[in-house]
Structure 1
Amino acid sequence: MSSKVFADTAVHIAAKETFFQTYQEVRKVQGLNSLEQLWAAYYTYLGNDIFATGLLFFCLHELMYFGRSLPWFIIDRIPYFRKYKIQDAKLPSNREQWECLKSVLISHFMVEAFPIWFFHPVCEKIGISYEVPFPSLKTIALQVSIFFLLEDAWHYWFHRGLHYGSFYKYIHKQHHRYAAPFGLAAEYAHPIEVMLLGFGTVGIPIVWCYFTRNLHLFTICIWITLRLYQAVDAHSGYEFPWSLHHFLPIWAGADHHDEHHHHFIGNYASSFRMWDFFLDTEAGNTAKLNRERKAKLKGEKKAKLKE
């Protein structure tokens, strides 16, 4: 099976004995930057696009998830950072980290791996491109921004729904095992929740491409990388003076999601604060006081109207 990674059908490069040799051949193609050359050499060398895409996405997911979780594991063991811990009296033990790691790995290999390895046929079916050259940075930035907004809405409503009755008891309760979250716990969840909320990350780009016929696999890689960083950071349990929400007020961050785990209700959105703000589902003592103040003012207003 040969790769169709080159947009220009006149370009054809046969895979060499080693990846480096293939890469040297790809470098002869004009108009490709270094990243595009590596991408083209990777698909050309493997020669099986289904396997290449599956391997790429599985390794990307594992590298980004555990690579971003590791710094938080280290920080948890350094006393200096304790002053930045939101729930400073609750540090995850080695046993909790180990139990969480085992559960997450089982989920990755038993739940998430299967659809990842069959993602490429879906790409070909709906027109997700994996050819070179890549789209412009402007196009990538625009599409990733849209995905963040759409995923945030999806996450808010389905996450909020998982807090009702049997949905919480039999599905979402697993994720709330840790009232003081830590980075590795971002994907510690019931398989149904993994698939349901995970659709916001993977399914939204698919639906987007189905209607627009305009999406590149590299853009999805950027989107998944950023989404994983956001998810792990939101569960880190740390609030720093340089945290992103100090510069981008609508950004949620760890302080927003930590309140959700601490109070078991409210702050349902993933990346932004708008849904919780406008729908009055913010969590925490400050939000509680604001709701009480609003209720008091509303009661006083009604009382005056009766007079």
Structure 2
Amino acid sequence: MVSAVYHDYSSFANTTTFTDVYSNFNQIPELNIFEKLWGSYYYYINHDLFATGLLFFLTHELMYFGRCLPWYIIDRIPYFNRYKIQETKIPSNREQWECLKSVLTSHFLVEAFPIWFFHPVAEFINISFQVPFPSLRTIGFQLAVFFILEDAWHYWFHRGLHYGVFYKYIHKQHHRYAAPFGLAAEYAHPVEVSLLGLGTVGIPLVYGYFTQNLHLFTINTWIILRLFQAVDSHSGYEFPWSLHHFLPFWAGADHHDEHHHYFIGGYSSSFRWWDYFLDTEAGPIAKQKREHRMKLNAEKSKVA
């Protein structure tokens, strides 16, 4: 059996190492370095289902904990306390350790199974993993679509998890930390992990099914960006260079920190528009604005 990552191996020399495989792919002029590495990886593993499962699992673990590590270090450096949104609530090493154990358990018992069997699902709905990749324009467009659709999914299901029994028995676990930190991004009940995670993974699958134009590289890139967004929004830090200062519609840590602080409002993941237009922004400033609008509307009613 030979990997289906490329359509023509007729010019390839015999290989025994990954370096040999890369040398073969390096002779294909139309492939860029990322496509050559991608093709070499699949060809070397020579088992596409296993290769995709391993790639996606390692990507998730390395990117998630790799992005959490800088925030853990920042939490230990007093200089950065001035940028902490809830400046007196620095997570202790014990809190970090307890959170880490829970997140790792979730990764191996809840998320690992669907990750390892993602390839046959993708193959069934004709999601490509072959080289070359789609154009940068196509990848960029699809990533934007995923961000927008996932944000809508997250808003409505996250908001639903704040009602009654759903909050008490499911979402309350995630709100254990009123002052969030990076590692707590995926600290959640298994039902919540599955429900909100379905937006991250399911939306690309549905998109791929209907368009028949999606690549596993794009999905892998999307997962990396979504992980970074989730960890950063839980970091608990507001910097002068934070992204929302340049993209006002971007949510960021200040938006999500208020959600954890006040336990209500601020339900979106990546953007601010759902909370803005549906009047569910969190925090005292948003509350004052709502009260001011209510007062103005009451005065208008009296005049009328």
TM-score, reference length from structure 1: 0.97
Question: Does the alignment pair 1:32 with 2:31?
Answer: yes
Relative distance call for 1:285 and 1:21 in structure 2 (3 A) is same
Q: How does 1:1-80 map to 2 (within 5 A)?
A: 1-6=1-6, 8-9=7-8, 13=12, 16-80=15-79
The question of whether the paired residues in 2 share the 8 Å contact of 1:181 and 1:236 is answered with yes
Aligned position for 1:248: 247
Counterparts of 1:134 and 1:113, CA distance in 2: 26
Alpha-carbon distance in structure 2 between the residues aligned to 1:59 and 1:219: 16
Aligned-residue offset at 1:28? 1.6
Shift of 1:11: 5.1
1:87, 1:17 → 2: CA distance? 55
Question: How many angstroms apart in 2 are the aligned matches of 1:66 and 1:160?
Answer: 27
CA deviation vs aligned residue, 1:183-218 (integer Å, no higher than 9, x gap): 000000000000000011100000001100000011
Provide the C-alpha distance between the structure 1 equivalents of 2:26 and 2:8, rounded to a whole number of angstroms.
17
Q: Which amino acid in structure 2 is aligned with residue 189 of structure 1?
A: A
Could you report, residue by residue, the CA deviation over 1:207-247 in whole angstroms, capped at 9, with x for unpaired residues?
00110000001111111111100000000000000000000
Task: Give the Å deviation of 1:251.
Answer: 0.2
Q: Deviations over 1:142-185 (max 9, x none)?
A: 00001000000000000000000000000000000000000000
Counting matched residue pairs gives 304
Instruction: Report the Cα distance in structure 2 between the residues aligned to 1:297 and 1:141, rounded to whole angstroms.
Output: 43
Counterpart position of 2:169: 170
**d(CA) in 2 for partners of 1:31, 1:15:** 21
* Rounded Cα–Cα distance in structure 2 between residues aligned with 1:33 and 1:21: 17
Distance 1:278 1:227 in 2: 23
CA distance in 1, matches of 2:30, 2:16: 25
Corresponding letter in the other structure for 2:31: L
1:163 is matched by which residue type in structure 2? H
- The CA distance in 2 between the partners of 1:37 and 1:130, in whole Å, is 13
Partner of 1:280: 279
Q: Matched residues in 2 for 1:184 and 1:14: separation?
A: 45
Residue 189 of structure 2 is matched in structure 1 by 190
What is the one-letter code of the residue matched to 1:4? A
CA RMSD in angstroms comes to 1.1
Give the letter aligned to residue 3 of structure 1: S
- Distance, in Å, in 1 between the alignment partners of 2:255 and 2:11 is 51
Counterpart position of 2:87:
88
Contact 1:15 1:45 in 2 (8 A): no
Contact 1:86 1:237 in 2 (8 A): yes
- For the 8 Å contact 1:163–1:265, the answer to whether it is kept is yes
Cross-structure match for 2:104 = 105
Please give the alpha-carbon distance, in whole angstroms, between the structure 1 residues aligned to 2:230 and 2:10: 40
Return the offset for 1:26: 1.6
CA distance in 2, matches of 1:10, 1:229: 37
Query: Contact conserved, 1:15 with 1:47, CA < 8 A, in 2?
Result: no
CA offsets per residue over residues 85-121 of structure 1, 9 Å max, x none?
0000101000000000000000000000000000000
Counterpart residue number, 1:230: 229
Aligned equivalents of 1:209, 1:222: Cα separation in 2 = 15
Instruction: Provide the rounded CA distance (Å) in 2 between the counterparts of 1:15 and 1:213.
Output: 34
1:259 aligns with 2:258: yes
| 1:206 aligns to 2:205 (yes or no) | yes
Counterpart-to-counterpart distance in 2, 1:97 and 1:75: 13
**In structure 2, C-alpha distance between the alignment counterparts of 1:219 and 1:16, rounded to whole Å:** 28
Structure 2: gaps spanning 5 or more residues: none
In structure 2, what residue type is equivalent to 1:81?
Answer: F
In the alignment, is the contact (CA less than 8 A) between 1:209 and 1:215 conserved in 2? Answer: yes
CA distance in 2, matches of 1:204, 1:14: 40
Moved over 2 A (4+): 8-16
Partners of 2:14 and 2:203 in 1: CA distance: 34
Counterpart of 1:29, as a letter, is I
Matching of residues 104-143 of structure 1 within 5 Å: 104-143=103-142
Aligned twin of 1:180: 179
Tell whether the 8 Å contact from 1:13 to 1:44 is kept in structure 2 after alignment.
no
